[in-house]
Amino acid sequence: MNIKGLIFDLDGVIVHTDQYHYQAWKKLADRLEIYFDEDINNRLRGISRMESLDILLENYHGNTFSLQDKEKLADEKNTYYRSLLENMMPDHVSDEVRSTLAELRNRGLKLAIGSSSKNAKLILNKVELLSYFDAISDGTNITYSKPNPEVFIKAAQYLSLSTEECAVIEDANAGIDAAK
């Protein structure tokens, strides 16, 4: 293998925002009087906000939501989530992550983010990691979320590399399937 680039998932690999996602989904679920727990939250890892909302709504027993209503609910969750992200600071990233990224760059590897999150740049700015990455492919520039490989294919393209020249570092099943 001639690996020239590494594409990292963001949530769960570079930073840990699971608790913020959980709190935001829980707040929305509580408002809608929907049962929501950690097990349900774990099903949301690595998939889009709209797909996550559909899973959350599996436990909803009221009137059916229109697509427009669902988009408003997803935006509401994201508003909660973004307010929680304001608490993120550089020390929310481990020294090991920072030193690993620095060493990989020193070895001449190109680094990218491949995340379904539409908040990737905000998070990277808050933790002061944006400068470590040569490219970012995220929820703002993809049509299909993981397990579709689009986010990783675009990351490789942004690095000006073929997918065969890249390796993916991922923690969620949907992302691992997309990487394969």
Structure tokens at 151: 């986010």
Q: Cα separation of 88 and 164, whole Å?
A: 34
| 11 part of the active site | yes
Q: What is the 3-state secondary structure (H, E, C) of 14-63?
A: CECCHHHHHHHHHHHHHHCCCCCCHHHHHCCCCCCHHHHHHHHHHHCCCC
| 9 part of the active site | yes
Q: Cα separation of 150 and 154, whole Å?
A: 6
Catalytic residue, from 9, 39, 69, 138: name it. Answer: 9
Catalytic residues: 9, 11
